[in-house]
Amino acid sequence: MKERRVDVCQELLCRYEADGEAFLQCIVTGDETWVHFYEPERKRQSMEWRHTSSPKPKKVWVQRSASKVMLTFFWDYNGPILEHYMPRGSTVTSATYSNLLRENLKPAIRQKRRGLLTTGVCLFHNNARPHTATATVSTIEELRFECIPHPPYSPDLAPSDFHVFGPLKDALSRTQFQDDDEVRSAVHEWLRTHPKESFSRGIYALVKRWLKCTELEGDYVE
CATH number for the domain spanning 116: value is: 3.30.420.10
Residue 166, pLDDT above cutoff 60:
yes
Residue 50 located in a structural domain: no
Residue 73 located in a structural domain: yes
What integer is the mean pLDDT of 107-112? Answer: 98
pLDDT of residue 222: 83
Residue 207, pLDDT above cutoff 90:
yes
Strand 122-124 to 27-36 pairing: parallel
Alpha-carbon gap, residue 94 to 130, rounded angstroms: 4
3-state secondary structure 2-71: HHHHHHHHHHHHHHHHHHCHHHHCCEEEEEEEEEECCCCCCHHHHCCCCCCCCCCCCCCCCCCCCCEEEE
Residues 94/132/98/78 CA torsion (nearest 10 deg):
140
Please report which confidence band the pLDDT of residue 90 belongs to, taking 50, 70 and 90 as the band edges: confident
The region of weakest confidence among 52-66, 80-94, 151-165 is 52-66
DSSP lists the bridge partners of residue 82 as 74
Range of the domain at 124: 2-40+60-215
Cα of first residue to Cα of last residue in the chain, in angstroms, is: 17
pLDDT digits (tens, 9 = 90+) for 52-68: 565 655 544 456 677 89
Alpha-carbon gap, residue 161 to 126, rounded angstroms: 10
Residue 89 located in a structural domain: yes
Q: What is the DSSP letter of 218?
A: T
The whole-chain average pLDDT of the chain stands at 90
> Alpha carbon 54 to chain centroid distance?
39
Cβ neighbours around 202 below 10 Å, total:
19
pLDDT of residue 49: 47
Residue 40, pLDDT above cutoff 60:
yes
Residue 44, pLDDT above cutoff 50:
no
Residue 142 located in a structural domain: yes
The region of weakest confidence among 47-61, 90-104, 136-150 is 47-61
Residue 145 located in a structural domain: yes
**Could you give the count of Cα atoms lying within 13 Å of 157 in the half-sphere of its Cβ?**
30
Share of the chain above pLDDT 90, in %: 82
pLDDT of residue 45: 43
Residue 124, pLDDT above cutoff 60:
yes
Residue 47, pLDDT above cutoff 50:
no
Residue 107 located in a structural domain: yes
Contacts of 88-91 with C-beta under 8 Å, sequence gap 24+, read 88/180
Total domains in the fold of the chain = 1
Residues 197/200/201/206 CA torsion (nearest 10 deg):
170
What integer is the mean pLDDT of 157-176? Answer: 93
What integer is the mean pLDDT of 191-214? Answer: 95
Residue 6, pLDDT above cutoff 60:
yes
Of 43 and 16, the structure prediction assigns the larger pLDDT to 16
| CA angle in degrees (0–180, nearest 5) for 27-30-34 | 165
Residue 211 located in a structural domain: yes
